[in-house]
Structure 1
Amino acid sequence: MIKFAQPYDGEDSITFENAILITTSALIVYVILRLVRHTFLRRRFEAFARVHGCAPPPAITSSFLTGIQHKWKRLNQRGDMFNDYMNRVFQENGPTHEIKNTWTGETKAVYTIAPENVKTMLSTKFSDYHRPRTMPNALNPVMGQGVFTSNGEAWAHSRGLVRAQFSGKRVRDVSKLGKHMQNAFDTIESNKIGKDSWTEETEILLVFNRFTLDSATEFMFGTSAESHEAFLRESSEMKNTYKGMKSFSRYKAILDDFATAFDIALDYVALRLKLGRLWFLADGLAFRLACYKVRSYADDYIRRAVAHAEVAKINGKETEDDRRFGLISELVESYPDKVALRNQVLQLLVAGRDTTAATLTWAFILLEAHPEVFARLSHAVLEVFGTETVPLAPVTYENLRACTYLQHVVFEVVRLYPTGPLNARKASVNSILPTGGGRDGLKPIAVQKGTTVAYNTYLMHRREELWGPDAWKFRPARWEGKKASWEYIPFHGGPQTCLGRESIHFVCLVIITPYTIHKPH
C-alpha cells in the first residue's frame, strides 16, 4: 500500500508568526549593517577631507518632498530655465555649492561654475570621475551604448575607432554641403515677408535641423535623408500637423518618414534627460515606433555597406566607390558586431545634428538682433571673399580661417549658447576639487565616491568675474587677442572633448559666409 507524506505540524514547524518574526529580524539586521557601513564610510571620508585641508561648500538642504518639488519646478519652469532659475540659485549660493539631505546630512550633489573644478574633473583627475547612468538610460532605446554614453575601456575603444574620421579633409569638404546649404537658403527666402526681411517668419531651427540631418546622413551613410526636399514641398499649413493627427495616422507618419521619427525620438530623449532618475516616465508607443524606424534606417545602410565590403574584398582591391556608404564604410571592419556599429553611428548622428543646428540657429538670431555686428562681419567677409559679382577667393577651410572676425563671431555664439549647457560627472573614488570650500569659497572641497558633480557651462561662460561686466552681451570683439582656457568649454574639454567640434565650427563658418554676402542690405 502506498503511503503519502503528511505535512509536518509538530512544535518546530514554521508558523506564520515565526515567518513574520524571521523576516522582521532579517530586515532589522540589514538596516543595522547598512547604517554601520554608512557610518564607517562617512567617517573615513571625513578623515580624507581633513587630511587634504578641505572645507564644505555652501549647502542647500533637500528632503524627499523638496526634491520632488525641485523636479516639478524644473519641469514647469515658465521663464528661462538657465537665466531665471539656475542663475538665481548660483547667485544666492555661490559658484560652487552642494545639495544636502535634510535628515542624513549626506551630500546628494555638487553644482559648480568654477573653471578650476571643471578642469579637475575633465582633465587633471579624469580617472576619478565617470559619466552618470542618466544619459545611457535616456538614450538606450534609440541608440544603445556608444562613445557618448560609455565609460572606461569601452569609451576609450569607441573613441579610438571613430576619432580619425572627424579630422582632416573629411570634415573640411565644402562641396559636400553645397546642395544642403542651398536648400536651407531657399527655405529662408521662400518664407521672407518683404524684400528686406530675412528669417522673420521662418522656423529657423526647423530649417537647420533639416540641413544638418541631411548633411550628417550623407556623411554617415553616403546618402542624404533628403528631409529638406520634403520640407520644401510641404505647404506652410502642413508643417505642424503632426500633433493634430489621429493616433493611427500619427504612428503611420512615424514609420513612413525617417526625419519625423528622428525628431520624435529626440523629443522624448530630451524629456527623459530632463526627468533625470525618473527617465522611465517618458515612454510610449510613439517613442518606441520612432526608435524602431531610426534603428531600421541605419541597419539598412549598414547591411548594404557590409555586403559591398565583402564584394570588394573578393575583388581584391579598393576603389573610391568602396567608400560610397560614408563613415560606415570606414567602420565596417572595426565592428564585427553590427548592432554596436549602428549604435555608434546613431550616437554620432544625433550629436552632429542637434549641436550644429542649435549653433547655426543662435548665430542667425544674434546677427539679426545685432545689426552693428552683422555690418562689421559683412565688411570682413567681403574683404576676404569679395561679392557675388566680383569674387576674390573661394570658400575653403584655409580662407575661412583667415577671416578673423568671422571666427570671433562663431566663438562668441558658442560662448553664449554652448552645445552642452549643463553636464555632470559622478565620482568613482573619493576625490578633491580645488575650490569652493569654506566661507570665502577658496578652500578645496572633498567629493565622496558616488556623488554627482554638475557643471553649468552656460552660466560659467557668463560669469562677470571671468568675462567682464558685459559677459551676458553678444560682443565678438572681446576675442581680439584673447586666449581662453577652462573658462571656455563649449565642446567640453580633456580626453572627452567633443569629437565633432571642428566639424561644427567649420559648418557654421561655411553657412554664415554666404549669408553675409547674399543678404539684402
Structure 2
Amino acid sequence: MDSKDIINPINGTFLPHLLLPLSQLLALTLPPFKLRKHIFVPIIAGLLGATYTTHFANTAAGRALAGAHWTVALGTLEKLLFGVPEKDYWRNGKPRQEAMAMSFGFAKFRWALSLLATQRGIGWNFQVKGVPSMKAPESKWPFLAYQFQKWAKSYILSDLLYTYFDTYHHYEGINMAFMDLRARTWSGSLLNAFCAGAKLYFPIQMHYCFASIVSPMQDWPPAFGDISKATSVRKFWGSFWHQFIRKIFAGYSDFLARFLNLRPGTNFNSYFKLYVSFAISGITHGLMTYTMPANRFHSFNDRFLSVFTCFVGNAMAIHFEDIVINIYGRLGGTKKVDKLWKRLPLCPKLIMSDTVISLVDSSIYMLHAAIHHPYRLALYIIVIYFTRRILNRLLVPPSISVAPRIPTYLPFGIDFIVWSAYYNSTNQDLKLWSTIFRRYGRGTAPYTAEVVLGGDRVIFTADHENIKAVLATKFSDYGKGPKFYHDWKEFLGDSIFATDGRLWQDARGLIKPLFLRQRIEDLAVFEKHTVKLTRMLQGPEGQPIDVDVKDLFFRFTLDVATDFLFGQAINSLDNPREQFMEVFISETLSLERDELEKLTKSDRGYTFLSALALYTRDAKQIRDQLVAVLLAGRDTTAATLSWVLHELSGHPDMVRRLRREIAQHVKPGQNPSFAELKAMKYLQAILNETLRMYPAIPFNMRIALDDTSLPRGGGSDGNQFISVKKDTIIAYTPLVMMRRNDLYPATYSNGDKFPDANTFDPERWLHPSVLHTSEKDADASDMKASGFNNKEWSPRPWTYIPFNGGPRICLGQQFALTEMGYTLVRIFQQFARVERRMEPDEMGILSANIVLTPKNGVRVAFFKEEEEEED
C-alpha cells in the first residue's frame, strides 16, 4: 500500500467516553429528586456530543468497548426528559416495583448498570424480541467465572480485530475511500470478511456476558438469550438485533410490495421486501452519521455510502445463505450435515456471509475497472453467464424431466422479472402469458414452460391436463403452501383461501351449509338491492344518463353479500363508505346459544354469521371465514357483471334476443323465479361466454407440497411428464386456456362456423352437442356440476374452469350464477337497450389484480325504448 494511502490515527483523550456511562449510572442510581432532570440532561448531552468531536475522537478498540453506545445515552436522556426511568424502562410489574423501592446503594447501582447494559431491561427485551429464555444455572460463582472468562476472551479477540480495521482504515466495517483494485485483492477480501464477521460477533457476546454478570441471579442467563444460539444470519437479524426497529422497516417494505402489486407468496416478493428493509435501515443509519462531527478525512463515501452498502450487504448475506441451503436441499442433503449446520455457531456463518459480501464488493470494483478495458469486460460477462448456468443446473438437476426453459440472461432471472413487471404494469398480462407459450412451448403440447426466478423454479401452464393434475388427480401434492399462508395470514387468516390440509377442510366445512339449494333459491335477498340498482341506472325523471356500472356493481354485490352473510346490508349503494364487520360479530356473539339455534332454524332469521357463531365463539375464526366469503361473493361477481355489460353494450342484437327470452319466461310485472332463470338458455349462454372470456381469477398458483410430477410438457414432443420437486411454484392461467382455439374451435364436426376463441359469441353454447369421448369418463361429473348437459355443446372436461375445479371448486358458483342472472333479468325488464359511452381505446383493457376487471370501468347509458329504425 502506498504511503499516501495511510491516514495517521487521531489522538484524543479517553475521558468523555468514560464519564458518559458514569454520569448515566449516577443519574439512575441516585434517588429521584426534583432537579435530577435539570442537572443530568445537559451533562449527558454535552458528554455525548464531546465523544464525537474531533478532539475526543479516538478510534481505539478500548473506547468502542468500554464506552456506552450512543443510542443508550439517548435512551437515558429520553427517559429523564419525558418520564421516570424507574417506571418507564421496565414493562413488567415486579422489576418496576423493585426499582421504585430501591434506595441509593449497591443494589440500585447494579440495577442501573444492568439497565444500561441491556438497553431497555431484561424483561422488556424478552417481551419484544420473543427469544425463549434459557435454563438458569444452579451455582452462582462458577457461572460468574465462566461469564467473566468468556468476556475477557471476547475482549482480546475484539481488540485485535478493531486494531486490524483501524490500521487498514476499515472503520466500522467498510471504508469506500480505500476500496480500489490495489487494496481489494481476493485474499484481502477473505481476510477482511473474516474480521468483519468476527468483529460483529465478539462485542455482542461481550454485551451479553456483561449483562449476565450485573443482573440479579434469578435473571441468569438474560432472557433475551445467548448470541451463540442464533443458528443463522437470518435468525440473528430477525430475532436478536433491533427487533422493534426492524418491524417498522418491514412495514414500509410490505407497503411498497403491495403498492407495486408484487404477487404474494413468491420468493421475489420475499427477497424484495428483505432488500428494501435493509436499504431503508442503511439509509437511516447513513443519515445518522451526519449527526456526528467528522474529522477532515471523512467524505460522503466514508460516512453515508459505507454504512448503506454494509446494510445492503447483510441482505445479500441472508440471500446467499438461503441459496446455499436451497441448493444443498435440492441435491439431496444428509441429516448429518443438517444437524452440523444447526449446531454450528453464528460466528462462522457471519464470516462466511461477510466473505460473500466482500467478494461481491470486489466484483463491483472489478466491473468498474473493466469498463475501461473491453477485454476485461468481456471476460467478466463470460464469468457471469457460466455462473448463472451452473446455479440453474444446481437448482434444477438435469436428471429430472423439465418443461421448455424460458431463457434469462441476468442472475436470478432479473431480466424476466423486469419484463413481466412491465407487462403487468401496462395491463398486458394476457399478452405476456400468450407470448411465453408461443415462443417457448414445445411439440403438440406447447402450453407449458418454466423459468428459475430468484432461486425459485416456476412452471407456467395453460394445459388442461396439467391443471387437472394440480387441482384434482394429484390434489394432495399441491396446495397454497406455508409461504402463501404466512404472507396472507394477517388478511385471510385461516380461511379456505390461505390454508391446506385439516385447516382447509374445517374452513370449507364451515362454509358449505351457507350454499344449500334452499338458501340459493330464495331470491328475496337480491330483489331489494336490484330495485336500488336500477333506479341508479337512470336520471331522476327516468332519462338516460352516463353511469359507470363497474362501480355500481361492486357496491351492489357488497350490499347483497353483507345482507346474505349478516342479515343486514351496509347499503353502500346509498352511502359508498366502508364499514367494518366487527360490530356484526360482537352483536352476534352476545346472543345466547338457544337464541342462535332459533335463528338458524328459521329461514327468516338465518344468516351465515349466526350459523358460524353457533359453531364457534372464536371471533377471529368467524372473521376469517367472513372475509373469505365476502371477498369471493363481492369482487368476482361484480367483475363478471361488468364484463357482461361491456359486451352487451356493443351487441344490441344480443340484448334484443335476451329481452325476447325474458319475455317468454317471465310474465310482465313479475320477478323471475329460480326455475325460470335456469330455463333461460340464452341468458346462461351469455354468462358462460363471459366467464370463459373473462374468468374472475385469470391467474392462479399452487406450491408443490412434496416431490411429484405433471403429466405433460416434458420431452422433445411436449407429451412426456415433468418432474416437480417440493416447493416448486405452479402458475396456471384459466384466461389463456379458455381462449385457446384448439379447445374452442371455430369449426365444428358438422361444418358449422363460429368466431375464433377470442371473440365473444354466446351462440357456441347453444350449438347441438357433439359428444366427446372424454365426456363419458368420470370427468363428465365435473361438467354436470357446472350446469352442462348433452343437449347443447359443452367444452371438454377441465377446459372450462371459471370456478376452479376438483376439491377446491367454488362452493358459491350456483349462488353467483343466480345473482348475476337475476340482476341481468331485472335490468333488461326495465331497459330496452344499452349503449357504450367510452372511447374505443379505453374499452376492454384487462386489469389483472387478483380479480380480472375492466381497467377504465364500463361507462354506458340505458334506454327504456328501442332505437328507431331508419326507413
TM-score under structure 1 length normalisation: 0.75
2:578 to 240, 258, 263: 258
- SS at the partner of 1:227? coil
1:203 to 548, 551, 555: 548
Letter in 1 for 2:731: A
Is this contact kept in 2: 1:132–1:452, CA < 8 A? no
Question: Residues 169-184 of structure 1: matches in 2 within 5 Å?
Answer: 169-184=518-533
Is this contact kept in 2: 1:112–1:455, CA < 8 A? yes
Matched, 1:414 2:691: yes
CA offset at residue 48 of structure 1? 7.5
Whole-Å separation in 1 of the counterparts to 2:399 and 2:806: 26
Matched, 1:476 2:758: no
Matched, 1:488 2:792: no
Q: 1:208 to 1:318 in 2, by over 3 A?
A: closer
Alignment correspondent of 1:144 = 493
Matched, 1:457 2:766: no
- SS at the partner of 1:92? helix
Is this contact kept in 2: 1:425–1:454, CA < 8 A? yes
- SS at the partner of 1:408? helix
After superposing the two structures, state which structure 1 stretch, 125-134 or 147-156, moved more: 125-134
Letter in 1 for 2:763: A
Alignment correspondent of 1:366 = 647
The total of aligned residue pairs comes to 439
Which deviations, in whole Å up to 9, do the C-alpha atoms of 1:67-121 show, x marking residues without a partner?
54235414532xx32333332232222210001359xxx7620000000000000
Alignment correspondent of 1:299 = 582
2:632 to 348, 351, 363: 351
The answer to which structure, 1 or 2, has the higher relative contact order (CA under 8 A, 6+ apart) is 1
Whole-Å separation in 2 of the counterparts to 1:421 and 1:219: 26
- SS at the partner of 1:100? strand
1:163 to 494, 505, 512: 512
CA offset at residue 40 of structure 1? 3.0
Whole-Å separation in 2 of the counterparts to 1:352 and 1:34: 39
Whole-Å separation in 2 of the counterparts to 1:312 and 1:66: 61
Letter in 1 for 2:419: H
Letter in 2 for 1:331: L
After superposing the two structures, state which structure 1 stretch, 331-340 or 62-71, moved more: 62-71
Whole-Å separation in 2 of the counterparts to 1:408 and 1:305: 41
Alignment correspondent of 1:289 = none
Letter in 1 for 2:825: T
Whole-Å separation in 1 of the counterparts to 2:583 and 2:151: 65
Is this contact kept in 1: 2:494–2:624, CA < 8 A? yes
1:383 to 644, 664, 679: 664
Letter in 2 for 1:147: I
Is this contact kept in 1: 2:600–2:607, CA < 8 A? no
Letter in 1 for 2:479: H
Alignment correspondent of 1:63 = 411
Which deviations, in whole Å up to 9, do the C-alpha atoms of 1:303-333 show, x marking residues without a partner?
21122234627xx966867974721111112
CA offset at residue 512 of structure 1? 1.1
Is this contact kept in 2: 1:431–1:449, CA < 8 A? yes
Alignment correspondent of 2:309 = none
CA offset at residue 164 of structure 1? 1.6
Matched, 1:40 2:329: no
Q: 1:56 to 1:369 in 2, by over 3 A?
A: same
Alignment correspondent of 1:404 = 681
2:611 to 289, 308, 330: 330
Whole-Å separation in 1 of the counterparts to 2:151 and 2:632: 66
Which deviations, in whole Å up to 9, do the C-alpha atoms of 1:136-157 show, x marking residues without a partner?
4564444423111111110011
- SS at the partner of 1:40? coil
Is this contact kept in 1: 2:600–2:611, CA < 8 A? no
- SS at the partner of 1:190? coil
After superposing the two structures, state which structure 1 stretch, 422-431 or 3-12, moved more: 3-12
Alignment correspondent of 2:560 = 215
Is this contact kept in 2: 1:58–1:96, CA < 8 A? no
Is this contact kept in 2: 1:322–1:329, CA < 8 A? no
- SS at the partner of 1:229? coil
Q: 1:323 to 1:372 in 2, by over 3 A?
A: closer
Letter in 1 for 2:411: S
Whole-Å separation in 2 of the counterparts to 1:492 and 1:329: 28
Is this contact kept in 1: 2:529–2:556, CA < 8 A? yes
- SS at the partner of 1:189? coil
Letter in 2 for 1:329: S
- SS at the partner of 1:147? coil
Is this contact kept in 2: 1:45–1:430, CA < 8 A? no
Whole-Å separation in 2 of the counterparts to 1:355 and 1:442: 34
Q: 1:35 to 1:212 in 2, by over 3 A?
A: closer
Alignment correspondent of 1:15 = 157
Whole-Å separation in 2 of the counterparts to 1:402 and 1:341: 37
1:96 to 448, 451, 454: 448
Is this contact kept in 1: 2:430–2:735, CA < 8 A? no
Q: Percent of pairs identical after alignment?
A: 28
Matched, 1:86 2:433: yes
Letter in 2 for 1:148: F
Is this contact kept in 2: 1:97–1:111, CA < 8 A? yes
Letter in 2 for 1:474: F
Alignment correspondent of 2:817 = 505
Q: 1:175 to 1:365 in 2, by over 3 A?
A: same
Is this contact kept in 2: 1:323–1:330, CA < 8 A? no
Matched, 1:124 2:436: no
CA offset at residue 47 of structure 1? 8.7
Whole-Å separation in 2 of the counterparts to 1:11 and 1:415: 71
CA offset at residue 228 of structure 1? 0.8
Whole-Å separation in 2 of the counterparts to 1:344 and 1:20: 51
Letter in 1 for 2:590: A
Is this contact kept in 1: 2:330–2:395, CA < 8 A? no
- SS at the partner of 1:228? coil
Whole-Å separation in 2 of the counterparts to 1:93 and 1:324: 56
CA offset at residue 33 of structure 1? 7.1
- SS at the partner of 2:581? helix
Is this contact kept in 1: 2:599–2:605, CA < 8 A? no
CA offset at residue 171 of structure 1? 2.0
Which deviations, in whole Å up to 9, do the C-alpha atoms of 1:404-423 show, x marking residues without a partner?
11111111111111111100
- SS at the partner of 1:409? helix
Whole-Å separation in 2 of the counterparts to 1:322 and 1:518: 30
- SS at the partner of 1:414? helix
Which deviations, in whole Å up to 9, do the C-alpha atoms of 1:263-287 show, x marking residues without a partner?
xxxxxxxxxxxxxxxxxxxxxxxxx
Is this contact kept in 2: 1:312–1:322, CA < 8 A? no
Alignment correspondent of 2:46 = none
Alignment correspondent of 1:238 = none
Alignment correspondent of 2:292 = none
TM-score under structure 2 length normalisation: 0.46
Which deviations, in whole Å up to 9, do the C-alpha atoms of 1:131-190 show, x marking residues without a partner?
145654564444423111111110011101111211212122111111110111111113
Whole-Å separation in 1 of the counterparts to 2:557 and 2:150: 73
Is this contact kept in 1: 2:494–2:504, CA < 8 A? no
Whole-Å separation in 2 of the counterparts to 1:322 and 1:145: 28
If you compute each CA radius of gyration, which structure gives the higher value, 1 or 2?
A: 2
Q: 1:355 to 1:97 in 2, by over 3 A?
A: same
